[in-house]
C-alpha cells in the first residue's frame, strides 16, 4: 500500500478526493452521491433530483444506484476504544466497492460521512487517512448535531403535516439520535424545524456487546431498556413541554424499525417499497416486538428480514425502541427506510439550486 508521500497514486487519490472523493464532471447532468459509514453499516446512495412531493412540497429523489454492506466497523470498540484491524479491512473492502460504483456512474458531487465509530475510536482519524490512501475517498467525521440534523432533513417529509409534534429517532450501531420536530409556521405548510435534539452514546452494537445479543431473556431485555432509559431521561425531562400537543406521533429510521415493520407485515424477505412510509399502531408495534422477542437466535438468523449478520443485534434495537416508546407514548409510529444519506443528497441539491438562483 503506497503512502501519501507523492507520485501517481497520490495524484489519483487527490483527484478522487475533490468533491468528497469524486472528480468534478461539470459537462454531465448532475448526479449526486451520499455515503454513510456507521458503526455497523456502510451505505451508499446515488441519485438525481426528481421534483417535489405534494402536499408538503418536499423534494424527491430518483435513485440511480444503492449499496449497503454490514461491516461492523465498531465491533469491540466499546471494550478496546479502538477500531480493530479486522473491522478496518472489512470496511476498506466495502469502501472500494462504493468508490467504483461512484466512478462508473459518473457522480458529479458527493459527501462521504462517518459517524459514531470514527468519532469514538482513538484511531478514528488514522482510519480516515488509511481510507484516503487506499481508496482516494475523503471521509468526513461529522459531529452528533450534524448527524441529527441530516436525519431530520432526510426523514422530515414523512412527518404527518397535521401533527403538532413529531419525535424522530435514528437508532444506530454506536449512538441514537433523537429530534423533536415542530411545525415551522414561518415556512410553507408541512415544513418542520428542529426544536430540541440529543445524541445518546448507545446503539445496537454497543448495547448488544454490553448485555449480549444471542440469548436475550426477559430480564436481560428489561436491563437493556433501563440502561437506555437512564441515558434518555435528561432529554425526556427537557421535552415534557413539547409533548403537550395534538396528533403526536413517532417517526423512526434504522434497521431496527424497518425490521419491526417487516415482521409486522410477515414479509418473507425485506421489501423497502412496502416498509418505507408505513404507519403502525402502538398495538401493532407491541405485537411485532413480542414476536421478535419470542424468537431464539437461530430463528432470528433464518428470518428474511433479519439474517445472521443482524440476529445478535436486533433485540438490542428493540430495547432502545421500547425505551423511547415508554418515554414518549404515541398512538402510532411511522417507519422510514431513509435517513442520513437522503439528508445529505437533499442538502447537496439545495445548495446547487440556490447557487443557480443566485447566478
DSSP, collapsed to helix, strand or coil, labels residue 259 as helix
pLDDT at 353: 83
DSSP, collapsed to helix, strand or coil, labels residue 246 as coil
The residue range of the domain holding 292 is: 150-340
In a domain, 182, yes or no: yes
In a domain, 351, yes or no: no
190 & 305 share domain:
yes
73-130 pLDDT, tens digit each = 999 998 999 999 999 999 999 999 999 999 999 999 999 999 999 999 999 999 999 9
In the block, residue with C-alpha cell 451508499? 44
Helix%, strand%, coil% for the chain, nearest 5: 45, 20, 35
Report residues of the chain scoring pLDDT below 50: 1-19, 22-27, 53-57, 357-359
Global pTM reads 0.85
pLDDT at 313: 97
E strand or H helix that includes residue 9? helix 8-21
66 & 213 share domain:
no
Compute the radius of gyration of the chain from its Cα atoms. 20
Residues 6+ apart with CB under 8 A from 334: 158, 159, 160, 249, 250, 251, 252, 277, 278, 279, 280
pLDDT at 358: 46
178-194 pLDDT, tens digit each = 999 887 765 555 566 78
What is the rounded CA–CA span in Å between residue 69 and residue 90?
10
276 & 196 share domain:
yes
The count of structural domains within the chain is 2
271 & 161 share domain:
yes
16 & 159 share domain:
no
Length of the chain: 359
pLDDT at 239: 87
pLDDT at 29: 63
118 & 157 share domain:
no
81 & 186 share domain:
no
pLDDT at 242: 64
- Residue 309: how many other CB atoms lie within 10 Å: 14
E strand or H helix that includes residue 230? helix 218-238
Which CATH number goes with the domain that contains 73? 3.30.420.40
Of 86, 116, 142, the residue that ends a domain is 142
128 & 156 share domain:
no
pLDDT at 234: 94
In a domain, 347, yes or no: no
Amino acid at each position: 500500500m503506497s503512502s501519501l508521500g507523492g507520485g501517481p497514486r497520490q495524484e489519483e487519490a487527490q483527484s478522487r478526493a475533490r468533491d468528497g472523493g469524486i472528480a468534478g464532471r461539470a459537462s454531465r447532468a448532475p448526479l449526486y452521491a451520499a455515503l454513510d459509514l456507521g458503526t455497523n453499516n456502510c451505505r451508499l446512495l446515488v441519485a438525481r433530483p426528481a421534483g417535489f412531493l405534494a402536499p408538503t412540497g418536499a423534494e424527491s429523489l430518483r435513485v440511480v444506484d444503492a449499496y449497503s454492506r454490514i461491516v461492523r466497523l465498531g465491533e469491540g470498540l466499546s471494550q478496546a476504544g479502538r477500531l480493530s484491524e479486522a473491522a478496518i479491512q472489512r470496511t476498506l473492502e466495502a469502501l472500494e466497492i462504493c468508490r467504483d460504483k461512484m466512478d462508473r456512474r459518473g457522480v458529479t458531487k458527493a459527501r462521504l460521512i462517518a459517524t459514531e465509530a470514527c468519532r469514538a475510536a482513538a484511531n478514528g482519524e488514522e482510519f480516515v487517512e488509511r481510507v484516503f490512501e487506499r481508496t482516494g475517498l475523503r471521509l468526513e467525521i461529522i459531529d452528533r448535531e450534524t448527524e441529527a440534523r441530516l436525519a431530520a432533513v432526510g426523514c422530515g417529509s414523512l412527518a404527518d403535516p397535521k401533527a403538532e409534534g413529531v419525535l424522530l429517532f435514528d437508532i444506530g450501531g454506536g449512538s441514537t439520535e433523537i429530534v423533536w420536530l415542530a411545525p415551522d409556521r414561518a415556512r410553507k405548510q408541512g415544513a418542520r424545524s428542529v426544536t430540541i435534539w440529543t445524541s445518546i452514546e448507545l446503539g445496537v452494537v454497543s448495547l448488544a456487546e454490553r448485555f449480549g445479543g444471542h440469548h436475550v431473556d426477559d430480564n436481560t431485555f428489561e436491563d437493556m431498556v433501563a440502561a437506555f432509559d437512564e441515558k434518555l431521561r435528561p432529554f425526556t425531562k427537557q421535552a415534557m413541554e413539547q409533548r403537550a400537543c395534538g396528533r403526536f406521533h413517532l417517526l423512526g429510521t434504522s434497521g431496527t424499525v424497518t425490521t419491526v415493520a417487516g415482521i409486522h407485515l410477515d414479509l418473507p424477505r425485506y421489501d423497502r417499497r412496502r416498509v418505507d412510509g408505513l404507519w403502525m399502531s402502538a398495538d401493532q408495534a407491541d405485537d411485532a416486538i413480542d414476536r421478535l422477542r419470542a424468537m431464539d437466535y437461530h430463528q432470528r438468523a433464518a428470518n428474511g428480514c433479519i439474517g445472521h449478520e443482524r440476529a445478535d443485534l436486533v433485540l438490542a434495537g428493540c430495547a432502545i425502541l421500547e425505551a423511547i416508546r415508554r418515554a414518549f407514548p404515541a398512538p402510532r409510529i411511522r417507519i422510514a427506510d431513509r435517513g442520513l444519506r437522503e439528508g445529505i443528497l437533499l442538502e447537496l441539491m439545495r445548495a446547487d439550486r440556490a447557487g443557480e438562483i443566485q447566478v
